[in-house]
Amino acid sequence: MITDFTQTGSSELGRKAEEAVSMLLTHKGFREVTRNYPAHGLGELDLVFLKEDRLFFVEVRLRKQGGNFGGPAESIGPQKRKRIFNAAKHLIGLYGLNSYETSFWAGCIEYSSVDNRFTVKFVPF
């Protein structure tokens, strides 16, 4: 899991954040379907998981605790939501996954530079 953000660039942080969320969900019994799914012109899905009869579309967001840009969940505005929904429709249609229920989550990671720790929570949107 992520243990040290201090010496890591932003693209590497994003990759580590996705990996941390994926590991956490896998540990909780979810099965990863795909990661970084490109929906050709519609956007990209960070993580897609399956549990029982439900597909979970997870947008991973990382923010520094106490930052000026709000929390991770607030960074997913209406336009981003629309892109995620459209990308999800693309994946569902292309692979015939219409029989599954769907949920959309923000996988929110907040990083504290004071004690070099992070917290993860899931917020439906």
The domain spans of the chain are 10-124
For 111, other C-beta atoms within 10 Å of its C-beta total 21
* pLDDT confidence band for 1 (50 / 70 / 90): very low
Phi, psi (5° rounding) for residue 95?
-105, 10
Residue 103 CA to residue 124 CA, distance in Å, equals 7
The fold adopted by the segment(s) 10-124 is Trna Endonuclease; Chain: A, domain 1 (3.40.1350)
CA–CA dist 11, 90 (Å, integer): 26
The residues, ordered by sequence, that sit 6+ positions from 61 with a Cβ below 8 Å of its Cβ are: 17, 72, 73, 75, 76, 106, 107, 108, 109
Residues of the chain above pLDDT 70, percent: 86
Query: Long-range contacts of range 75-81, CB-CB < 8 Å, 24 or more positions apart?
Result: 76/106, 76/125, 81/125
**At residue 80, does pLDDT exceed 70?**
yes
What confidence tens digit (pLDDT) does each residue in 24-48 have?
A: 999 999 999 999 999 988 989 999 9
